Amino acid sequence: MREGIGIADQRNWRGTIYQLLLGLLLLLLPVQFALGTEIRFAPSDVVLLLLVLFGGFRIATSRDDWSAWHLVLLAMFSASLLTSALRYGSVTRWALINKYVGLLVLLVLYLVIVQYARTPRAVWRIAQLVVWSVFLQGVFALPLYFIGLRYAPLHTYRIQALAADPNAYGGLVVLAIALHWATVNTPARLISRRLAWPVTLVLVLNLLLCFSRSAWIGFVFVVLSILIFRRRAWPHVAVPFALGVSLVLIFFRSYFITQIWPLIDRHEQVTARVVIIEDAMTTFVAHPIFGGGLGSYIDTYGYQIHNTFFWMLAEMGVVGATVFIIFVGIFALRGYRAYKAADEQYRGLMAGLLIAHLAMIGLSVGIEAFYQRSWWVVMALLNASWVLMVKRGAVPVAHDTAVTAAADGAHAAGE
């Protein structure tokens, strides 16, 4: 198997262009545009295509970059697509493009990330770009949101920035919070000391105003995981919460009751989600082993299940649900092993990736989070970290120095 990172590691114009494209890909990850009711366009996919075309056969990978469950996952989706074709005589465009082709895009994204993350510094750099991409979008989204509350053409009750969906945007924010908080007081911090609190406040405010209960479930996973893995970051958890509660009780009590609480409550949506789960279980009972087939649920009922596990259960049966659990479990296990094997300099970064992964599992309770591109970036980084920290043992001193210098440079820039 080839080792190295192909053209991304070459100190020439090809390597420079490749790294620029990779950075652009990460910065555009939170951006999506809805094209009609079924299709969403992600500019990052165009950059991903350019990366593949530019890298070509120079993109290097090895056996350790993957697990057998990647192949099992692809085989399961292929079988489910075939099941739909045989059972119903055709395959819906939703299933073919959004689900099957969407999975292929995610696998290519995983490949591009994992083949680049061959050093701890590369892992750190990618994680930093992910946090910055969400933070910058949040900085621009907040004033537009508040202007929209007063200006009808921009009016929206739930902030979603350029993610085309408040639930998806909330998931991005939770992931960025996990990475930021876990590294905030470590040598490999992703955000400089001076900007640490502003980033926290911007991200938490965006998380609140997206009014995504699915994202809030993921946030609970983050808070509990921070208490276990990175207790030194607890002030970043407690201060925004205490500040928010104080502001509501002192200044915005009536506004909270009349305007904010109805957005949080949305009882009718809770009832609808219960009905969706019941319909999913009905589909599962009818086809318990391999499910109804890819795209069969939305074709029958006209809406998504909004729960990754129950979606797999309905359309791919107990086989699909089991594969999903094992697939995400593999990355959780590898991330935990990388966290335990890392020294103090990198342990915060490893904890951030692991906590972000757990947060996305929590997010999947409320939406079909499996297709969140940022989650696949995290899984690729978890696998790369496992290879670096566990399979290869100790981290070279040169890499330690590189990350420290980069963190110090970010700190200096913040000052």
Question: What is the pLDDT at residue 199?
Answer: 92
Residue 73 lies in a domain: yes
The total domain count for the chain is: 1
Task: Give every residue of the chain whose pLDDT is below 70, as ranges.
Answer: 1-13, 34-39, 56-60, 148-156, 244-273, 393-415
- CA 211 remoteness from chain centre: 18
DSSP sequence for 196-214: HHHHHHHHHHHHHHTT-HH
- Count other Cβ atoms within 10 Å, centred on residue 90: 12
Q: How far apart are CA 114 and CA 73, in angstroms?
A: 18
Mapped onto helix, strand or coil, the DSSP state of residue 33 is strand
Mapped onto helix, strand or coil, the DSSP state of residue 361 is helix
Residue 1 lies in a domain: no
Q: How far apart are CA 141 and CA 192, in angstroms?
A: 22
Question: What is the pLDDT at residue 126?
Answer: 94
Question: What is the pLDDT at residue 411?
Answer: 39
Nearest in space to 381 (alpha carbons), one of 89, 29, 15, 12: 29
Query: How much is the mean pLDDT over the chain?
Result: 80
User: What residue numbers bound the domain in which 348 lies?
Assistant: 6-414
Question: What is the pLDDT at residue 243?
Answer: 73
pTM for the whole structure: 0.84
Residue 52 lies in a domain: yes
Q: How deeply is 367 buried, as exposed, middle or buried, from its count of CB atoms within 10 A (0-12, 13-18, 19+)?
A: buried
Give yes or no for a contact between 117 and 381, defined as CB atoms under 8 angstroms apart: yes
Structure tokens at 87: 């059972």
Annotate 296-327 with b (16+ C-beta within 10 A) or e (fewer): bbbbebeeebbbbbbbbbbbbbebbbebbeeb
Give yes or no for a contact between 377 and 130, defined as CB atoms under 8 angstroms apart: yes
Residue 142 lies in a domain: yes
Question: What is the pLDDT at residue 361?
Answer: 93
Q: How far apart are CA 231 and CA 341, in angstroms?
A: 19
Question: What is the pLDDT at residue 249?
Answer: 62
Q: How far apart are CA 283 and CA 261, in angstroms?
A: 34
Which residue blocks in 191-286 are alpha helix, DSSP H? Answer: 193-209, 213-229, 234-250, 253-255, 261-265, 267-286
Question: What is the pLDDT at residue 335?
Answer: 94
Structure tokens at 353: 């990736």
Residue 160 lies in a domain: yes
Q: Give the dihedral of Cα atoms 213, 217, 222, 224; nearest 10 deg.
A: 130
Tell me the CA distances in angstroms from 217 to 139, 192, 360, 361, 398, one per residue in order: 23, 28, 9, 9, 39
* % of the chain at pLDDT higher than 70: 79
Residue 202 lies in a domain: yes
What is the tens place of the pLDDT at every residue in 130-173?
Answer: 999 999 999 988 888 777 666 555 556 778 777 778 888 888 99
What is the tens place of the pLDDT at every residue in 58-115?
Answer: 666 778 889 999 999 999 999 999 988 888 877 888 888 888 998 999 999 999 999 8
Question: What is the pLDDT at residue 278?
Answer: 80
